[in-house]
């Protein structure tokens, strides 16, 4: 690695992460909206690099999915959040702070280990952005998510 390879996109590459091309919106909403210096990113599901929900990332925590499945799903959600940021503001280097992540975990009513699942999202955010990736966070367990996805993550970012 060159001594100049400090960009966020290089860091993603070092982590072996390839950002997917965000799917074109299929309804009257968009992946992210910039207002002033704040970027609001739509709730992203745990689609994989092929744009599909893997069988392990469908359903509810507390049924057959393991904690590792949940954390991997939360990590995928963040990758899709990053792809939406890049699509709207052009480069992840324009992110000065991850301000907030909202984590929605599809779960049985008796599954309370929700923060551990969401750590899969938060950990990746800090791997990618360092201290600028430390965010406020709300994590809740929901009755259902679009497409029966295991996890959905929304985000709010400060853009420079």
Residues making contact with its own copies (CB under 8 A)? 27-33, 35-38, 40-43, 60, 97, 99-102, 104-105, 107-112, 114-115, 119, 122-123, 125-126, 133-148, 152, 154, 156, 158
Comparison of 1 and 26: residue with beta carbon closer to its own copies: 26
Shortest Å distance, C-beta 92 to its own copies? 17
Comparison of 53 and 92: residue with beta carbon closer to its own copies: 53
Q: What does 34-72 look like in DSSP terms, one character per residue?
A: EETTEEEEEEEE---TTS---GGGBS-BTTTB-HHHHHH
Residue 61 tokens, joined? 């925590």
Residue 133 tokens, joined? 């990736």
Shortest Å distance, C-beta 82 to its own copies? 15
Shortest Å distance, C-beta 130 to its own copies? 10
Comparison of 2 and 29: residue with beta carbon closer to its own copies: 29
Shortest Å distance, C-beta 121 to its own copies? 9
Residue 41: phi, psi to the nearest 5?
Answer: -105, 130
Comparison of 19 and 107: residue with beta carbon closer to its own copies: 107
HSE, CB side, 13 Å, CA atoms: give it for residue 72: 14
Q: Given the structure tokens 């929304």, which residue do they identify?
A: 154
* CA dist 2 → 10, 95, 112 (Å): 10, 22, 44
Shortest Å distance, C-beta 37 to its own copies? 7
Comparison of 1 and 27: residue with beta carbon closer to its own copies: 27
Note whether 91 and 141 are within 8 A (CB): no
Instruction: Name the DSSP letter for residue 115.
Output: H
């Amino acid at each position: 690695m060159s001594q100049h390879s400090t960009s966020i996109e290089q860091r993603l590459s070092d982590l072996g992460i390839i950002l997917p091309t965000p799917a074109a919106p299929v309804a009257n909403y968009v992946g992210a909206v910039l207002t002033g210096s704040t970027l609001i990113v739509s709730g992203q599901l745990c689609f994989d690099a092929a744009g599909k929900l893997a069988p392990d990332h469908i359903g509810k925590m507390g049924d057959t999915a393991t904690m590792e499945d949940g954390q991997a799903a939360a990590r995928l959600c963040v990758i899709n959040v990053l792809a939406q940021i890049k699509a709207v503001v052009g480069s992840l280097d324009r992110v000065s702070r991850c301000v907030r992540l909202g984590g929605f975990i599809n779960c049985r009513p008796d599954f309370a280990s929700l923060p551990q699942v969401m750590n899969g999202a938060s950990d990746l955010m800090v791997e990618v952005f360092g201290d600028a990736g430390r965010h406020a966070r709300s994590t809740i367990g929901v009755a259902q998510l679009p497409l029966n996805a295991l996890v959905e993550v929304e985000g709010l970012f400060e853009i420079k």
